[in-house]
Amino acid sequence: MIKRSIYQFLFLAMAIVLVEQVHAQRNGRSHSGEAKPVKVFILAGQSNMEGKATVALLQHQMMQPETEKLFAHLHRDGELVEREDVHIKFLDRNGKLTAGFGSPNRIGPELQFGFSMGERYDEPVLLIKTAWGGKSLFRDFRPPSAGLPDGEMLQSQLVKEQKRHPETTLDETKDSYGFYYREMLKEIQATLDGIGDFVPRYDAEVGYELAGFVWFQGWNDMMKPDFVAAYTENMAHFIRDVRKDLGHSRLPFVVGVLGVGGVQGERVNEKKSEFKRKQAAVGEMDEFKGNVAIVHTDQYWDVEADAVFTKGWKDNLDEWKQIGSDRPYHYLGSVKCYNRIGGAFAEALLDLIDDKNTTLDSVQEYENFLTKNLVAWCIVPFDAKNRGPAERAEMVRELGFNRVAYDWREKHIPEFEQEIIEYKKNGLEYFAFWNWHESMAPLIRKYQIQPQIWDMFRGKLPEGTDEEKTLFVVQQFLPKAQRAQELGLKFGIYSHGGWAGKPENLVAVCESLRSKHGLSNVGIVYSFHHGHDDIADFSNVFATVQPFLLCLNLNGMADPETVNRRTHANQILTIGKGLHEADMIREVIKAGYDGPIGIIGHRADVDAKESLGANLVGLEALLNDVGDTPDSED
């Protein structure tokens, strides 16, 4: 009797502990009681993100033998579940996640998405849904960096609007572009500012984490050829701008590709297929690989509902009410369809978060590797878009850089002053100037900038000893190094291959200029893409140049024997696409280098924004991999 009482007591104690653990998890605390940040996910788009499947249809199907298993987790004995650990804010509505947070009395992707995230995380989850029906990316959600369409299109739009509202002005037409992008940001920010109102027991000391963004939209853009043609580029701008405006440069991002009509059948045509290709293409851009997922929603099309609709839903109304609740462009109002799409969105985001390691946590250790501290380099003559000073400054700022090293050609000389002005406008540091030009001297004084001056050895070296060659190179650099010192500037000898670019010779020239000519402003700029011969012994190479480094420029690094320096084949690679840059960067980190680091464009056939963006993505992924490097090897 006593023994049984002890067992009963132990069982009761274990049950109490279990209940407390579950309670802690549901309220954002680990088993140890440690509070965790609220996981915040943003769901944005147009009517299909709103959701058009009726709650009544769900309530019917969840009790039917053929569909009850699909929806068993959404109810208990016929009563719809309200999740205690997942909350949602959808414009003027908020509360515990349950059916009904689509359009009024309807369901969208948010239901299964939220249930999936609630099951995945111990900490509380908040969904912020910003969706409005009948909106385009080209106009309504147009991101700021896409700019306005050309004047002819704006004027045409104005004429149309004035037929309905004669008082409409051109400025009002312009303001309509991006209106819902701005509204989306306002809604997100207002919700985050008042997050305690939407997540009970929110712990302000622990805060929240922006964990992912889902975009589901497209119908209105599909209607106009101009909108279709611009969709991929506008979507790329949208992703960049959202990340910038939300302060998370690697926010995991899912794009739901329009799937109305399914994979095949009468509702599939070339117009839809072309648009779907345009939507999905953003996922193939180098800068978004591994941090943007594409979900093809056509695979979740409800063919059974489609069959009833096609044979005449009005003539088969009783049958229709058991399987669908809206038009084809709203996925037939199919609960099965919206639930599957929501689950797919959640799965795609979790893959990015878990498998692709897209958070910035491991990068934070290396302050000089953060985008805001990196130097954008080789982006003036190396840019397929041939940007001018204003466009270039805006592009660099949008990517998150604060520093630029300016490389130029003869045609750029008249733009020198405007470049400085634009950098100042955009809060950018004029970090370095390539190859001295005397017209820069008055501009440096006028605008009080202090760029490093970078230059490389040019010409043919004479025959002789290393000492004689060193003296020859020193004499070439001497006038420019002295001019830089007069202006209070550092002078960087740029590693550019050949004898003069070898690390030991760079150091010898640098030491000579310092010791024999009193030029303490002289240092070295070392670039990976001119250092393929140094790969095998990079640890020693870096130790040689590190004391003199003014900047270190990164690049993807292939095997030296595969590089053609004349054609640049395999010489300029995106960071993360080579075989050796990870080990080289690991050596840089182990050496404790905390100086400036440059990210290069250096591809004249590619948009500089794409090449820089791809390098940023590659660098961050690589840093996540090298971050756990041990201090020493066995």
Backbone angles phi, psi at 75, to 5 degrees: -150, 160
CA dihedral sign, ordered 347, 350, 352, 354 = negative
| pLDDT tens sequence across 595-618 | 999 999 998 889 999 999 999 998
**Residue whose tokens read 């007591």:** 9
Residues 49/64, Cβ–Cβ less than 8 Å: no
Task: Give the residue among 178, 253, 260 at the shortest CA–CA distance from 223.
Answer: 260
Instruction: Output the pLDDT for position 625.
Output: 65
Distances in Å between the Cα of 315 and the Cα atoms of 60, 319, 326, 334 are: 20, 9, 15, 19
Pairing of strands 106-107, 253-257: unpaired
- Cα 488 to Cα 24: distance, rounded to the nearest angstrom: 60
| pLDDT tens sequence across 426-442 | 899 999 999 999 999 99
- Cα 186 to Cα 192: distance, rounded to the nearest angstrom: 10
In the predicted model, what is the mean pLDDT of residues 447-452?
Answer: 94
In the predicted model, what is the mean pLDDT of residues 71-98?
Answer: 96
pLDDT at 367 over 90: no
Domain segments of the chain as ranges: 1-34, 38-142+178-359, 144-177, 363-625
Model confidence, pTM: 0.57
Give bridge partners of residue 590 from the DSSP assignment.
none
Residues 67/15, Cβ–Cβ less than 8 Å: no
In the predicted model, what is the mean pLDDT of residues 240-247?
Answer: 90
| pLDDT tens sequence across 509-556 | 999 999 999 999 999 999 999 999 999 999 999 999 999 999 999 999
Instruction: Output the pLDDT for position 268.
Output: 87
Q: What CATH class has 363-625?
A: alpha beta
Q: Which amino acid is at 384?
A: A
Domain 38-142+178-359 has CATH 3.40.50.920: no
Bigger pLDDT: 408 vs 32: 408
In this structure, what DSSP letter does residue 606 have?
A: S
| pLDDT tens sequence across 140-188 | 999 998 999 888 889 888 988 889 999 999 999 899 999 999 999 999 9
Core vs surface per residue 471-496: b (16+ CB within 10 A) or e: bbbbebbbeebbbbbebebbbbbbbb
- Cα 355 to Cα 348: distance, rounded to the nearest angstrom: 10
